[in-house]
C-alpha cells in the first residue's frame, strides 16, 4: 500500500536527509519508525503525506505516485492519510468537537452529517464528555486524542503519527498507544515515528524500521528469520542487529 523505492531526499547541497530508502508497508500494518533525531523519520512521514516530493526514487501511497502526482490531487491523498503531530496543532479558539468538525467542514461534509460523525469520533477516542472543552482545558493525552479523532475524520487508510507520545507522561502514552492499536485493529495502517525505545520493546510483534543518517539500518520484517534480532535503539550492547538491504 505504501512503497518507498530507492528514495533520496535532499533539502540543500548538504548530506541527504534520506538516502536510497526502500520499504513497503502493507494494508493494515502497524510500523514503528525509529532512530535518533535527524535520522529522517519525519521526512519519511512528510513524503508519504506528499508535503514534499523525493529528489530521487518514488513514493507510492495506494494509487498515488510521487512521480505522477498533480497538485490538485494532493488534497484527495491527504484525506486518505491522517497525520498526528507531537505538538497537537489544535485550533485554540475551538472546542474539541469544533476542532474535529473543522476537518469535516474543510473537506465538504454537510453539517447534518458532520455532527453525528463528530460525536462518533469523539466517542471512539473516549472524549465524549470533553466535547465542549477548549484545548487549553484538556490534558496532553486528551489533546492528542482530539488530534487522533481529527485525523480519523476523513476515514483515512493510513495514520501517520510523528512522535505522538513525545509530550505525554507514561499513563497518557499507554492510553494513546492503545488507541492506535484499536484503530489499527479496525484495518487502518499506522506508521508511528517514535524515540520511545521502551514502547518498542514492550511491543515486539510490531514491525520496526530503524533509520540512521537518512538510511534504513534495520527492518524487523526483513529479520523474521532471526527473531532475536532487534533494532539498535532497543538492542542490548552485545546483541547483533541486521540492516535490511
Contacts with another protein, residue ranges (CB under 8 A): 49, 51, 71-72, 74-79, 83, 89, 91, 102-103, 105-108, 150-151, 153-154
Q: In angstroms, give the least distance from the CB of 232 to another protein.
A: 31
Alpha-carbon distance of 227 to 201, in angstroms, equals: 13
Give whichever of 152 and 216 is closer to another protein, judged by the CB atom.
152
Q: In angstroms, give the least distance from the CB of 106 to another protein.
A: 4
Give whichever of 119 and 154 is closer to another protein, judged by the CB atom.
154
Nearest to 17 by CA among 64, 61, 51, 62: 51
Alpha-carbon distance of 192 to 44, in angstroms, equals: 11
Give whichever of 85 and 218 is closer to another protein, judged by the CB atom.
85
Contact 219, 23 (CB under 8 A): yes
Q: In angstroms, give the least distance from the CB of 185 to another protein.
A: 23
Give whichever of 79 and 120 is closer to another protein, judged by the CB atom.
79
Q: In angstroms, give the least distance from the CB of 47 to another protein.
A: 14
Q: In angstroms, give the least distance from the CB of 143 to another protein.
A: 14
Nearest to 149 by CA among 173, 175, 178, 127: 127
Burial label for 64, CB within 10 Å (0-12, 13-18, 19+), is: buried
Contact 195, 166 (CB under 8 A): yes
Amino acid at each position: 500500500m505504501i512503497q518507498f523505492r530507492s528514495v533520496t531526499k535532499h533539502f540543500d547541497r548538504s548530506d541527504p536527509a534520506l538516502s536510497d530508502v526502500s520499504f513497503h508497508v502493507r494494508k493494515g500494518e502497524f510500523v514503528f519508525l525509529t532512530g535518533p533525531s535527524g535520522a529522517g523519520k519525519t521526512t519519511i512521514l512528510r513524503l508519504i503525506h506528499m508535503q514534499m516530493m523525493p529528489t530521487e526514487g518514488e513514493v507510492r501511497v495506494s494509487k498515488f505516485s510521487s512521480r505522477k502526482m498533480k497538485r490538485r490531487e494532493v488534497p484527495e491523498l491527504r484525506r486518505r492519510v491522517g497525520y498526528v503531530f507531537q505538538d497537537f496543532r489544535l485550533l485554540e479558539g475551538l472546542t474539541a468537537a469544533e476542532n474535529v468538525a473543522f476537518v469535516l467542514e474543510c473537506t465538504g461534509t454537510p453539517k447534518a452529517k458532520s455532527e453525528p460523525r463528530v460525536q462518533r469520533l469523539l466517542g471512539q477516542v473516549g472524549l465524549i464528555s470533553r466535547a465542549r472543552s477548549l484545548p487549553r482545558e484538556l490534558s496532553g493525552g486528551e489533546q492528542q486524542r482530539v488530534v487522533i479523532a481529527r485525523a480519523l475524520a476523513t476515514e483515512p487508510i493510513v495514520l501517520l503519527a510523528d512522535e505522538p507520545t513525545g509530550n505525554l507522561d507514561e499513563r497518557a502514552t499507554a492510553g494513546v498507544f492503545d488507541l492506535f492499536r484499536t484503530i489499527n485493529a479496525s484495518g487502518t495502517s499506522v506508521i508511528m515515528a517514535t524515540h520511545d525505545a521502551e514502547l518498542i520493546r514492550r511491543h515486539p510483534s510490531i514491525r520496526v524500521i530503524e533509520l540512521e543518517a537518512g538510511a534504513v539500518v534495520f527492518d524487523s520484517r526483513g529479520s523474521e528469520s532471526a527473531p532475536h534480532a532487534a533494532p539498535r535503539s532497543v538492542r542490548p550492547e552485545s546483541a547483533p542487529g541486521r540492516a535490511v538491504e
